[in-house]
């Protein structure tokens, strides 16, 4: 167990649909599922979790392909890393833990999993919080020079294997640190060195980079197919969006109106004075947002 989490939290591993999911759990109160993004793992919540442990039972998994969770084989359609498959993992994990309905907060890739979860399993999501994203389809369809330059990895990681995998393998730590440092408001200084060490450890595990590439390849293919098929379906629960005013989403997109197109209810939210990594840059502010919104 990482020393980033105190004794209220415990690390567990559970097989759901033959996929081993690593997760951290702790706290008391109604369940809150926290989903991390790229290129990280459940450790992103280490500063927020202690602030929420008195109000919520926190479940913080490593998404499939990330951290210490399983990395299933993929094929040409990338379905193994679709957001539908990732959402099913965490839904079945929550059910196995005895939670039939729960709050959800997702950052980055985890936010895209959370979006699909809310569409495929609407009866299970009580309220939804998304961090520093606009909808995947919206972001692809509105790609311009600013977005392509600032989020070049969206287009690099989807290239056919093994091109991105082999290029990243030349110096994986350099690539990881460059991505982490490039999206934070203060570079790598916003991260606890122990968290960076954990991200580096997970990034270097066999098959990790390939799995992350497959996540992005799925987003540019099968996930878009699912989104287009479900274009008329709305998120049924209330949604709150938080993003960094020093980040790419704030600069290039309009999160409130972007998400309002996807929702049955009005969308609330606001930017915070930070970059992309809200949970590690402004944990107190994020915890306050979650406590104020997740009230049902």
d(Cα 290, Cα 292) in Å, to the nearest integer?
Answer: 5
The pLDDT of residue 242 is 98
The pLDDT of residue 271 is 98
The pLDDT of residue 295 is 86
pTM over 0.85: yes
- Catalytic residue numbers? 108, 276
The pLDDT of residue 178 is 94
The pLDDT of residue 187 is 86
Q: What is the pLDDT along the chain (296 residues), one digit of tens a residue?
A: 468 999 999 999 999 999 999 999 999 999 999 999 999 999 999 999 999 999 999 999 999 999 999 999 999 999 999 999 999 999 999 999 999 999 999 999 999 999 999 999 999 999 999 999 999 999 999 999 999 999 999 999 999 999 999 999 999 999 999 999 987 667 899 999 999 999 999 999 999 999 999 999 999 999 999 999 999 999 999 999 999 999 999 999 999 999 999 999 999 999 999 999 999 999 999 999 999 999 86
The pLDDT of residue 185 is 66
Cis peptide before 162 (omega within 30 of 0): yes
How does DSSP assign the chain, residue by residue? Answer: --TTS-TTEEEEEEEETTEEEEEEEEESSSEEEEE--TT--GGGGTTTHHHHTTT-EEEEEPPTTSTTS------TT-GGGSHHHHHHHHHHHHHHTT-SSEEEEEETHHHHHHHHHHHH-GGGEEEEEEES---HHHHHHT--HHHHHHTTHHHHTTSPTTHHHHHHHTSHHHHHHHHHHHHSTTGGGGS-HHHHHHHHHHHTSTTHHHHHHHHHHHHTTHHHHHHHHTTT--B-SEEEEEEETTSHHHHH--HHHHHHTTBSS-EEEEEESS-S-HHHH-HHHHHHHHHHH---
């Amino acid at each position: 167990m990482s020393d980033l989490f105190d004794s209220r939290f415990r690390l567990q591993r559970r097989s759901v649909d033959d996929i081993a999911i690593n997760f951290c759990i702790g706290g008391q109160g109604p369940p809150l599922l926290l989903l991390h993004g790229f290129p990280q793992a459940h450790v992103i919540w280490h500063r927020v979790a202690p602030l929420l442990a008195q109000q919520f039972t926190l479940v913080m998994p490593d998404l499939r392909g990330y951290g210490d969770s399983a990395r299933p084989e993929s094929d040409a359609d990338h379905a193994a890393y679709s957001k539908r498959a990732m959402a099913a993992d965490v839904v079945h994990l929550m059910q196995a833990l005895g939670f039939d309905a729960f709050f959800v907060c997702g950052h980055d890739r985890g936010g895209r999993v959370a979006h699909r979860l809310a569409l495929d399993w609407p009866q299970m999501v009580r309220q939804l919080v998304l961090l520093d994203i606009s909808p995947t389809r919206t972001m692809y369809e509105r790609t311009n020079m600013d977005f392509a330059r600032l989020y070049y990895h969206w287009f690099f990681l989807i290239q056919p294997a093994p091109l991105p995998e082999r290029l990243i393998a030349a110096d994986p730590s350099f690539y990881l640190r460059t991505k982490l440092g490039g999206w934070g408001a203060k570079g790598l200084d916003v991260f606890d060195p122990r968290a960076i060490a954990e991200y580096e450890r997970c990034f270097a595990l066999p098959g990790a980079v390939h799995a992350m590439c497959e996540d992005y390849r799925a987003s540019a293919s099968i996930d878009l197919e699912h989104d287009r098929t479900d274009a008329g379906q709305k998120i049924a629960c209330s949604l709150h969006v938080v993003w960094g005013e020093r980040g790419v989403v704030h600069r290039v997109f309009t999160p409130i109106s972007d998400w309002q197109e996807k929702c049955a209810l009005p969308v609330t939210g606001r930017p915070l004075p930070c970059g992309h990594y809200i949970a590690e840059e402004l944990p107190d502010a994020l915890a306050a947002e979650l406590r104020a919104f997740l009230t049902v």
